[in-house]
């Protein structure tokens, strides 16, 4: 698994971000979907399905093997 740059987002004064269109398309995230945020070693992760925080590292490593 390689990292893929999909764009950038600017944080608004209200604390809002826009998820880039390419990410929404690739991950099949619709307008009413929820996403979940995790922090791991100063890296912010956004995922479309909630996971146990203890399983985040294992999830990343599992995806890498594909």
Rounded Cα distance between 66 and 48, Å, is 18
| CA distance linking residue 38 with residue 35, whole number of Å | 10
pTM value is: 0.69
pLDDT per residue rounded down to tens, the chain (66 residues): 577 888 888 999 999 999 999 989 988 999 889 999 998 888 888 888 888 888 888 877 776 555
Looking at residue 43, its pLDDT comes to: 84
Q: What is the pLDDT of residue 64?
A: 55
pLDDT score at 37:
92
Q: Is 26 exposed, middle or buried (0-12, 13-18, 19+ CB in 10 A)?
A: exposed
């Amino acid at each position: 698994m390689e990292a893929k740059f999909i764009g950038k987002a600017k944080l608004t004064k209200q604390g809002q971000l826009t998820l880039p269109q390419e990410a929404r398309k690739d991950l099949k995230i619709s307008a009413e979907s929820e996403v979940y945020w995790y922090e791991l070693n100063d890296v912010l992760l956004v995922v479309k399905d909630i996971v146990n925080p203890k399983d985040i590292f294992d999830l990343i490593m599992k995806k890498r093997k594909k």
